[in-house]
Each structure stands twice: as structure tokens, then as C-alpha cells.
Amino acid sequence: MEVTTHSEDPRIARIHYLDYKKRVQVHREARRRRLTEIAKQNRSALYYARREKDQLTLEDEELMAMYKAMSQGKRVLTLAEVFSETGVDADNDDLPNLAIARADWEWVHFGMKNSNEPFFSSRSSSWGRTKQDTIELPTEFFPANTTNTHWRRQHNKTSYPVKAMVPKIPARLRPDRLDKYWILFEAEWDKCPPVDPILLSRLNLYTFSVVAEWDLTPLERSVLHGRPQ
């Protein structure tokens, strides 16, 4: 599977990381001063201002996480770039070509929360679904034909959620704590085993480092065919 990953000389990445961290600290100090002024004027507004993380803050955290991982010699990727590049199966049902699942899941379900908010989850039903068994993504990661459930119903597209088999990690690459890792793979929404996954470690909300890549052998795929649904 071909997806864009980023890497850099660890020494250069560390310089970038420390410099960016210093600049972010300056920005956060300015934000702290702004919150102090808000507190003087309206304490109820302070509560909401503290909870709010603007887009710039989120992007700062993503970049620092990436620079730090690259300073340790790791390759990194972002889900925004990955899903934008790989797109959807436009010739069939406008479903994502890739899926992401936690490494201890056997199946992953893709659907829309509140009609148009994409998610991947180990649960097909919203009942009992938690942040631990779900990864929610911005609508902008996918084309409108994928996220617009009203349009999909009008055009007789497959209804959500859809289901794909999560690949098995070979023993030689398998970490001790599967629930701490994620797998990115080419989704077979017709419930067939996938072929060439990537094992990931989460750095931040939508940023991951690459741990391993492998191809499932025909024998491994044949075993997965017997996995309970």
C-alpha cells in the first residue's frame, strides 16, 4: 500500500522540534494573558475560552508531535493527507479505499455520527460506543458523496455502517499491547481479508508514526476467512 509518510534527519528534526516548541510556548503565554483579561471582564466567558482549542493550537500540537517522532528516527503520517490522497471507490459505492482500526479489533465499522460525521469503530451500533472504541474524523477528510447520507439514500448507495475485516498482525511484528496501536489498511467492505496493512502508533489526534508494514500471505488470508462476524 502506497501512502505518503514524512521523515527527516533526526538531528535536524530535533532542532525543528525545539524551535517550534519554544515558539508555541510564546504563543501560549500570549493566550494565557488574553484569558486573564477575559476573566476580569466576564468569568462565565472564561470557562468557554479555556475549553476552546482553536485550529492553530491543534495544528501546533500535530506539528510538534511529528517533529518529536522524526527526531527519534520514525516515519510519520497524517490521516488528513492519507484519506485525501487515497480517496474513495468512486466506481462502486463512494466508500473509503482505506480504513483505520485499533490493532485489537477484529472488525471495523465505518459510518456517520449524527448523519454526516465520519467515524471508524469496533461497534456497529451507537449504543455503548465510547472514545476508546471509536475514532472520529472531520467531514473534510472525505468527499460529499461519502458523508452526505441524504444524497446516498437518494442514489441507492449502501447504507451505513459498513464493515471490514481488520488484518491479523504476524507474530514477528506483534506488539505486547495491541490496544495501544492502530492499523491502516485497504478496506475490503465485502468482508474479505485485507492484503498489505501498516501498523501505527498514535502521536496525536490525527497523527501517527509507522511501526511496521507487511503483506498478508495467502495462508494468513485463508485463516481470516473463518473469523466470526
Q: What is the per-residue pLDDT for 85? A: 94
* Residues 85 and 173 placed together within one structural domain of the fold: yes
The edge-to-edge listing of strands for the beta sheet with 98-102 is: 76-78, 207-213, 198-202, 181-186, 98-102
What's the domain range around 29? 10-74
* Residues 88 and 150 placed together within one structural domain of the fold: yes
Domain assignment present for 1:
no
Which phi and psi (to 5°) does residue 48 adopt?
-70, -35
Domain assignment present for 3:
no
* Residues 129 and 159 placed together within one structural domain of the fold: yes
**pLDDT tens for residues 84-108?**
999 999 777 899 999 999 999 999 9
* Residues 88 and 201 placed together within one structural domain of the fold: yes
* Residues 159 and 191 placed together within one structural domain of the fold: yes
Q: Quick one: cell of 77?
A: 503520517
Q: What is the per-residue pLDDT for 52? A: 58
List, for the chain, all residue ranges whose pLDDT scores fall below the cut of 50.
Answer: none
**pLDDT tens for residues 125-148?**
777 778 888 999 999 999 999 999
* Residues 113 and 215 placed together within one structural domain of the fold: yes
Last residue of a domain, one of 49, 74, 99: 74
Sign of the C-alpha dihedral, residues 217, 218, 220, 225? positive
* Residues 195 and 120 placed together within one structural domain of the fold: yes
DSSP assignment of 29-92: HHHHHHHHHHHHH-HHHHHHHHH---HHHHHHHHHHHHHHHHHTT--EEEHHHHHHHH-B-TTT
Last residue of a domain, one of 52, 74, 96: 74
